Structures are given as C-alpha cells and as structure tokens.
Structure 1
Amino acid sequence: MRLYTLVEEHAADPAFGCEHGLSFYLETEREHLLFDLGQSELFLRNAHALGLDIARVDRAFLSHGHYDHGGGLSAFLRENDHAPVYVHSRAFEPHFSRKPEGVRPIGLDPELEHHPRLVPTGDVYEVSPNLLLFSDVTGTECQSEGGKNLLERVGDTYVPDAFAHEQSLIVYDKGKCILFTGCAHRGVVNLVQRAAEHAGRMPDVVVGGMHLYSPSQKKSEPDELIRAVGERLGKTGARYLTGHCTGEHAYAVLHDMLGDQIGYLPAGSQVDL
C-alpha cells in the first residue's frame, strides 16, 4: 500500500499547498481510496502535483461533519463521476465551534446532503470484506479537553459535540490492518482499542489526527494528557502517522516518547505501508 497526504497544515515541499484540514489518498492492491477531502479544492491541486488522478478513486470516505474534512466534497463529486462517498448519517447535522469571538458554524454544505452518490452509514458499516467503518466508540480514556469547544445544537442550546457523526475506517490489505482516524475527537486511545476489538487484533498502522491541539482556542492539551496518550499508544505496538489536529507541540512530545513508532505526514508526503 502507498499512502499520499493531499491536505495538511504543513507541506513537504514548496510545490504543494497547505491548509487547515486533512485528506489522504491510499493505493491498495485492489483499489484507490480517498479518506477526507480538506476544506477546499486544494486536495485536487496537490493530487495533480503528485501525479494522482482523482477520477481513478474507487471509493471516498468522510470521517465527520466538519468543513476542514468535507469542504472539498463538491469538488470531488465534480472531478470523479462514479465513486460512492461514505458519510455517517448524522454528518450533515449542524456543527459549531466556540471561539473567543463567539460561536460559529463549522459544518458541511447542507445542499449536498441528499446527493445520490452519498452512502449514509451507521455505528458499524461493512463496505466490503476489506473495508470496515465504525463509529461505535465507547471508551473515554485520555479525551481532549479542547473538544468541549466543538458543539452541536439541542433545541436552542449549544452543547459539547458527542461526535456520533465521527467514523473511522479499517483497511485490510496484504495481511495488514490499517486504521484511519480523521481527528479522533473521542480519543485516539479509545479508537485504537475499538478498532482492535472489531479486527480481532491491534492495527499495524494508525493514520490521522489525534486532536491534541485546539485550533479554535489556539492551545495544546496539557503535557500530562499528551504523555498519558503516548504511554498507552506505545504499548499497542502499532505505527502512528499523524498531523493536523495533533499539533506541533504534542507531536514533539510524542516523538520524544515513541521515537520511530510515530511519524508526521505533511501535504505532499508519500509513505509505503
């Protein structure tokens, strides 16, 4: 398998653009997959710079209902005329962020909710024998405090988002088990554990953000929490490839703890899994 990072906050080379968001392109033995779409059409431009053709994507997945992961959805539907897009059934509900200047919407374009190529998913959704989506995470260890500034609306009241709309993807290929987490709002420790329960084994590689930095508040989680996450991840034996909402400080702390067990994925990077 070869993994390409199409969108992230940093770029591997000046030839690639960067933005707040995330998008990955994965070539497996069987098909080409796209996981998340960034916040704009940037994923298309970076794919072109990497020599990748978005029209060849067989399936696309949206991890959750925030603009920085699904803002490129309309561009994808335009550039690719056949691939289904798997989206949790609650992803198009309104979502918000509490910033110092007030609450603002951060959801998806509601006009796309009923597009015929969108496939609604639920708690557990088997796409194929090699692809499993799940959102049934119940663990509560090492969760980000910054996540409390991400909101949903109940009636006229804003409450912390429970992230029922957040799904993760397990990919099986050539004997390997790869987990894609998106932002891991419910805690990367809990997502990895739930993935292991679904797969019957620990993932070999975990790809995605860990939400140890709050962009809305511009602050990292406390070192105590970051180190608690690192201690638990180190025991799994999995390799971690991360970026986006993990944050630079948290990544530095985790790298000090985990060494080569963790790596960073700027836009334009390529990794063989």
Structure 2
Amino acid sequence: MKIRLLCENSACGLVWQAEWGFSALIEHGGENILFDTGYSDVWLRNSDIAGIDLDDVDVIALSHFHDDHTRGLLSHRFKERKRVVCHPRVLTESYDSDDPGAMQDYRDIRAKLASDFEVETTRAPLELAPGAFFLGEIPRVTPFERGTCFDDPMEDDTALAFRTDKGAVVVSGCSHAGICNIAIRAKEVTGQHLHAVIGGFHMMKAEDPPIDETIDWFMQEKVERLLPMHCVEFEYLVKFHAAFAMPTVGAGDLIEI
C-alpha cells in the first residue's frame, strides 16, 4: 500500500505546501481512499504537484468533524458525486466559536456534503474495500488516555485500518479518542497485530498528554513503524523520535508499506 500525505503541518520539501491540518491519499488493494481534506485547498495543490488525478478516488473517509480535517471539501474539483463515509456527528456538529465566519464554515461544509457527495454515516466499523476499514466509534479502554478534546467526548473521532501481509496499518486523523485506543480497535477489526501506526496522535501540551505511557504501550506492542504527525507538539515528536528512531515526514511524502 501507498500513503501520500497531501496535507500536514510541515512540508517535506520546497515545492510542497503545508498547513495545520491533515489529508492523505491511500492506495490499498487497487482502491484509492482519500482520508480527510485539511483546512483549505492545500490538499489539491499538493495532489497537482504529485500528478495525482483525484477523480480516481473511490471513497472519501472523514476522521471527525473538525474543520482542519473537513473544510478542504469546500475546494474540491471532483467531476462526479463521490461516496463519503463518516460518523453521523460530522453532519450536525460545529466547533464552538465566537467567530461567525468559523460557524458559517461548518454550515458550508455540511451543505457541500449534502449537495456534492453521496454520504454514508456509520457508528460501527465498516469495510470500505477488501481489507480496508473505517473503524467507527472507538471504545475508550486504556487507563491513561482521556479520549476527549477538552470537554468534548468526541465520539465521532475515528481512523482507518488496513490488513497487509506485514500486519495491520493504522492511519489516524487526529486521535482525540486516544491513539492507543484506536490501535486496539484496529487490531480487533483487522484481526492482525500492529505493523504501522501513522497520522495525528493528538499530543498537545494544553491537554497534558500521556506521552510516556503511550511510548511504553507502543514499545510493548513492538510496532515496526510509528509515524506521529499533525497535532503532536515538537517536544513530544522529539520523544517519539528518540524512542523509535523514526524519520521525519511532512506534506508531499510518500509512505510505502
């Protein structure tokens, strides 16, 4: 499988563009899955640089309702009505804000989903294509992860998981549910051990993240490839790098399994 990072907080080189947000195009078993669309049209500009024809996308999956993962839909150029899979909360929720423009953005996102896409909502895991799974609502089972975004329970926060010959590959958007909770769910849904966990791990200082417990958990799981990005503050990225000797990745990078 191949994962092209179309949007991330940093870029892997001078020609690529970056913003606070996440988007990835995942090729798995002949299927093309677009996971999140970032905040603006950065995902489109990077797909143009990479020579990607986004009309080849088979399905779009949204990790949760936050606009740094969904607002990019407002800039889409799809010629056909693509299938979108998401939690039902994506169609109803707005991030609390005193900014009328931000609230209008969420109304625009919901209107765009209704007018331009075939939307399928689910709370349960769903197989998007053979061996490719939308994980649905994530049970909170670890004793050390909050599984919230401040006071928001974030029941819509989810991720994707893929069966491969090397084990399960997890791609997360933001991991408000807890990246270890997500990985546990991925193991259950795929029936495989973890090979790689890639994406936003939501390690933000304001929420006092369980960085040491998370590192210990992944070490016990013997995960071969761990690539945290997007919503992980620098000091926590440093700790992950020290523990797992992982490369730095950013928008434009191609990750191959």
8 Å CA contact retained: 1:141, 1:190: no
Please report how far the alpha carbon of residue 61 of structure 1 lies from its aligned counterpart in structure 2 after TM superposition.
0.9
1:191 matched to which residue of 2? 182
Match of 1:233 among 195, 198, 218: 218
With 129-138 and 190-199 compared, the bigger mean Cα shift is at 129-138
Please report how far the alpha carbon of residue 265 of structure 1 lies from its aligned counterpart in structure 2 after TM superposition.
2.6
Structure 2 CA distance for partners of 1:59 and 1:146, relative to 1, 3 Å = closer
Aligned AA (1:269): D
2:233 matched to which residue of 1? 247
More strand by share: 1
1:23 matched to which residue of 2? 23
Q: Does 1:124 align with 2:108?
A: no
1:191-221 superposed Cα distances (whole Å, 9 cap, x missing partner): 11121122222221112111002xxxxx465
More helix by share: 2
Normalized against structure 2, the TM-score is what?
0.87
8 Å CA contact retained: 1:29, 1:174: no
- Equivalenced residue count is 250
Which consecutive residues of structure 1, in runs of 5 or more, have no partner in the other structure? 149-159, 214-218
Aligned AA (1:46): N
User: CA RMSD for the aligned pairs?
Assistant: 2.5
**Partners of 2:79 and 2:152 in 1: CA distance:** 32
2:244 matched to which residue of 1? 258
8 Å CA contact retained: 2:137, 2:157: no
Which consecutive residues of structure 2, in runs of 5 or more, have no partner in the other structure? none
Please report how far the alpha carbon of residue 82 of structure 1 lies from its aligned counterpart in structure 2 after TM superposition.
4.6
8 Å CA contact retained: 2:147, 2:153: no
1:157 matched to which residue of 2? none
Aligned AA (1:236): E
1:94 matched to which residue of 2? 93
1:271 aligned counterpart, secondary structure? strand
Please report how far the alpha carbon of residue 113 of structure 1 lies from its aligned counterpart in structure 2 after TM superposition.
4.2
Please report how far the alpha carbon of residue 169 of structure 1 lies from its aligned counterpart in structure 2 after TM superposition.
1.2
Please report how far the alpha carbon of residue 58 of structure 1 lies from its aligned counterpart in structure 2 after TM superposition.
1.4
Please report how far the alpha carbon of residue 60 of structure 1 lies from its aligned counterpart in structure 2 after TM superposition.
1.3
